[in-house]
């Protein structure tokens, strides 16, 4: 186990280096220089050159790259080109909103997807299976922004007209500061984000469960007289969760930097919004910082998933 974790950590460091280096190179190949975006279209050549010099963009590419690697290794993500604030501070201010958004939605889509998928697989070609199939098609077909707007219109506008206030739009509020306001501002974003992903988990769980339930050891367990509930949930579901957990680890890590639409519609001001504004403004250090953060979450999530395999499937050995 220890050697496996060390190997995966080294592999994770390699992945972080490759991702950050690729993004660093692509950003420096941008057709619109950062200094021109900051200075504006009417700025003089002298002003553009001064901004370029102050940002250190007039240095050779390899020197800039080495400085980036050295600072990143020491935990220094640099300063924002636009606000002159520390990138680490900007990310730390926005990270709680995104973490709570992803965590709450993950609980909903994971539990909901597995429950619906298992029921659909055990009642294959029945009414429940057909209803879940329609639900999956709807979930996969509706764009993220449309689902968020529909929920906002229904629960805020319509319910508000009836005197029912279940949701209050606005920026993120810490659950420690005001638990009620926290729930009122997060419940719709959770539902909007979870609805788009729960369909995938329903389909994945259903397919995996149907494959497992046709295995020989499942038929043997039934022949021994075990109850159907024990066969399905203790023997079948445990083996069927392997691909679901794999997908869960990838989604959980990747969503940290890709919740732009949900945060934009509900005004949460999280990491997604920070990424969007940084791309528009050409704020390279912030883009690199968020990219590293997202890659780190993906690496850690996949490490946890790999370790979890040994508990889900006794045949898996980590060595």
- Report all structural domains of the chain as residue ranges with CATH numbers, in order of start: 2-73 (no CATH), 87-312 (1.10.3720.10)
What are 46-78's pLDDT values in tens digits? 877 887 777 777 788 888 888 888 888 777 788
pLDDT given for residue 1 in this prediction: 66
pLDDT band at 162 (very low <50, low <70, confident <90, very high): low
Per-residue pLDDT tens over the stretch 209-238: 888 888 888 888 888 888 888 888 877 887
The average pLDDT across 247-275 equals 79
> What's the pTM value of the predicted model, to 2 decimals?
0.79
* Pairwise CA distance, residues 166 & 158, whole Å: 11
The per-residue pLDDT for 318 is 59
Sign of the Cα torsion 36, 260, 297, 135 reads negative
Q: Tell me the mean pLDDT in the region 146-172.
A: 71
Burial 184-195 (b: 16+ CB within 10 A, else e): bbbbbbbbbbbb
Question: 283 pLDDT exceeds 70?
Answer: yes
Give the pLDDT confidence of 6-47 residue by residue, as tens digits. 887 888 888 888 888 888 887 777 666 777 777 776 777 787
Q: The tokens of 271 are what?
A: 């990491």
In the predicted structure, residue 86 carries a pLDDT above the cut 80 = yes
Q: What is the pLDDT of residue 234?
A: 79
Judge whether residue 168 has pLDDT over 80: no
Phi, psi dihedral angles at 79 (to 5 degrees): -120, 150
The answer to whether the CB of 174 falls within 8 A of the CB of 228 is no
Q: How much of the chain, in percent, has pLDDT values that exceed 70?
A: 89
- Read off the tokens for 36: 């021109």
Specify the pLDDT at position 303: 80
pLDDT digits (tens, 9 = 90+) for 117-132: 888 888 777 777 788 7
Q: What is the mean pLDDT of residues 192-201?
A: 83
More confident residue, 151 or 161: 151
Q: In the predicted model, what is the mean pLDDT of residues 80-92?
A: 85
3-state SS of 85-127?
CEHHHHHHHHHHHHHHHHHHHHHHHHHHHHHHHHHHHHCCCCH
């Amino acid at each position: 186990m220890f050697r496996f974790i060390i190997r995966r950590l080294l592999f994770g460091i390699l992945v972080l280096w490759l991702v950050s280096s690729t993004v660093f190179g692509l950003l420096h190949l941008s057709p619109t220089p950062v200094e021109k975006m900051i200075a504006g279209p009417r700025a003089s050549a002298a002003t553009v050159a001064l901004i370029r010099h102050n940002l250190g963009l007039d240095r050779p590419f390899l020197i800039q790259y080495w400085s980036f690697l050295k600072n990143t290794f020491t935990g220094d993500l640099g300063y924002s080109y636009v606000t002159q604030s520390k990138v680490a501070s900007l990310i730390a201010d926005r990270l709680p909103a995104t973490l709570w958004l992803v965590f709450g939605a993950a609980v909903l889509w994971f539990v909901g997807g597995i429950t619906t998928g298992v029921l659909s697989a055990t009642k294959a070609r029945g009414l429940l299976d057909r209803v879940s199939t329609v639900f999956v098609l709807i979930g996969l077909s509706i764009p993220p922004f449309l689902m968020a707007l529909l929920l906002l219109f229904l629960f805020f506008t319509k319910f508000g007209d009836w005197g029912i206030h279940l949701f209050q739009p606005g920026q993120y509020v810490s659950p420690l500061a005001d638990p009620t306001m926290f729930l009122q501002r997060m419940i719709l974003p959770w539902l909007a984000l979870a609805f788009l992903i729960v369909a995938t988990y329903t389909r994945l769980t259903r397919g995996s469960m149907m494959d497992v339930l046709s295995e020989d050891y499942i038929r043997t367990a039934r022949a021994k007289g075990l109850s159907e509930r024990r066969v399905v949930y203790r023997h079948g579901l445990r083996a069927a969760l392997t691909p679901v957990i794999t997908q869960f680890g990838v989604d959980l890590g990747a969503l940290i930097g890709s919740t732009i639409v949900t945060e934009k519609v509900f005004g949460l001001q999280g990491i997604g919004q920070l990424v969007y504004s940084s791309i528009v403004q050409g704020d390279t250090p912030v883009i690199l910082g968020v990219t590293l953060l997202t890659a780190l979450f993906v690496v850690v999530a996949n490490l946890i998933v790999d370790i979890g395999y040994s508990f889900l499937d006794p045949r898996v050995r980590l060595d």
